[in-house]
Amino acid sequence: MDSFAVKIEGLTKVYKDFWKRKSVPALTNLNLEIKQGEIFGLLGPNGSGKTTTVKLLLGFLHPTSGRSWLLGKPSGHIQTKNKIGFLPEESYLYTFLNAEEILDFYGKLFNLSRKERKERIDKLIYLVGLNPYRKRLLSKYSKGMLRRIGIAQAIINDPDLIILDEPTSGLDPIGRREIKELISEFNKQGKTVLLCSHLLADVQSICSRIAILNKGVLQVSGNVKELLCRNEVMEFLVKNLSDGDLELVKKFIAEKNGEVLSMHPHRSTLEELFVNIIQQHN
């Protein structure tokens, strides 16, 4: 079990209604394993059960049935609390504090010594790119800056497993890219990341494996590249061929009974274009 950062067996949650009758099935018989050191994406449309899964994993909710383990211990186990970092969908940060003060506050909650807090706060503020704004009140922060300080707060205890609920929501493409780079950086440091999101492009670019939930039911899980790969369709990216040469290639494919499904100049993504333009003018 220890090689898994997260293990979920038959996890089911039925919320009770106002009259305490079981009514809303938010999660049904979920089975999932997340390996140590991977970035795993939990995807699904609104209301598909992502946050419920996270709350069950963290022990904030009790399952109707089923079990889950984090870092080899049952969810909610006291010994794992210090090894887990969590960024909720909405971070409730004290906006009358500045970046240093808020991180110091959370460091104290984890019983870090004054020296440890100072060292970690310095490191984290640099890591999330907020050094120039470390003394600025959070009430004056942009959405992106708040998300970044939320992430710093989530990892103040140097966790082995980081659970991020919609870390890039509400951010512009530059902010999203920065957060994605940060998540990849955590991963390089050997940390496991569970990322919940409905921003598919973000998940595709950083997650090694994913699971898709719909109406509380697991639809598919697996390696992102394998899930997206269509072995029967090949893509060539070529340059330096004349129009005549391209015609020859097309002819050759037709002779071999192949079918050219598309052929057009390579397009970059709108995100690449946006980020390039903005960065050129910064």
Ligand X SMILES: Nc1ncnc2c1ncn2[C@@H]1O[C@H](COP(=O)(O)OP(=O)(O)OP(=O)(O)O)[C@@H](O)[C@H]1O
From 47-55, 90-98, 126-134, 142-150, give the range in contact with ligand X by CB under 6 A.
47-55
Residue 137 has which token pair?
């009140």
CB of 172 to ligand X, least distance (A): 20
N-term to C-term CA, the chain = 48
**Sheet containing strand 84-87, strands side by side:** 84-87, 161-165, 192-197, 39-43, 209-214, 217-223
Q: Which of residues 83-102 bind ligand X (CB under 6 A)?
A: 89
Q: Is residue 157 part of the contact set for ligand X (CB under 6 A)?
A: no
Judged by CB under 6 A, how many residues of this single chain contact ligand X?
13
44 binds ligand X (CB under 6 A): yes
Separation of alpha carbons 149 and 198, rounded Å: 21
Could you say whether residue 277 binds ligand X (CB under 6 A)? no
Given 5, 8, 34, 49, the residue binding ligand X (CB under 6 A): 49
Is the Cβ of residue 92 or residue 236 nearer to ligand X in the bound state?
92
Of the candidates 145, 211, 209, which has an alpha carbon nearest to the alpha carbon of residue 182?
A: 145
Task: Please give the residues from 167 up to 206 whose contact with ligand X meets the rule CB under 6 A.
Answer: 198
> 202-236 burial string, b = 16+ CB within 10 Å, else e?
bbeebbebbbbbeebebeebeebeeeeeeeeeeee
Which of 2, 10, 22, 24 is close enough to bind ligand X by CB under 6 A? 24
52 binds ligand X (CB under 6 A): yes
Residue that is written with structure tokens 């957060």 in the block: 179
Residues that bind ligand X (CB under 6 A): 15, 24, 26, 44, 46-52, 89, 198
